[in-house]
Amino acid sequence: MIQQHLQRFVSIGRRLVLVGVVASAPVVYSAGCAATGDPLPPRPAAINHFVVFKLNDPADAAELIEDCDRYLGRIPGVVSYFAGQHHDIGRDTVFRDYDVGFFVGFDSDEAYRAYVDHPEHVRIVNKWRDRWEWYRVYDVFDDGSRE
């Protein structure tokens, strides 16, 4: 059951990632889908780090997004980024149990590790850790082999 939810969330998160960062992502075009030959959309990054937060006070969502925008998307090694709130189009299969979603993409493990230890990342975690009820982290690797 947990695996099904995780697979569904990763699938939904991947679509959010592609929609949310297409305009700002480095343009990497695929040769096409092997099964159909149809072109695939640009891929945001090799390592896709997606976090959702349930805040103690949902009214703090705008402040968290502002902090993410101000500090995290500018850390060296980040190649794609977005932060935002849930978007509801009335689908029953979309999770609504979080207040803020955050995404960063990296091209290497080294860039990801440097991000985790970067003072701006540490600052945000320290500021917000007592202000979230829970958070979930999803890391998805895209080796680009389908290109």
Distance CA 97, CA 28 (A): 33
- Architecture of the domain defined by 2-23+45-141: 2-Layer Sandwich (3.30)
pLDDT (tens digit per residue) in 57-78: 999 999 999 999 999 999 999 9
Residues 6+ apart with CB under 8 A from 55: 61, 64, 99, 100, 131, 132, 133
Q: Which residue has the higher pLDDT, 121 or 6?
A: 121
pTM above 0.85, yes or no: no
CA angle 16, 9, 17 (to 5 degrees): 20
Give the model's pLDDT for residue 31: 52
Q: Which of 92, 90, 12, 91 shows the shortest CA–CA distance to 52?
A: 12
Q: CA-to-CA distance for 36 and 74, rounded, in angstroms?
A: 37
pLDDT of residue 39: 80
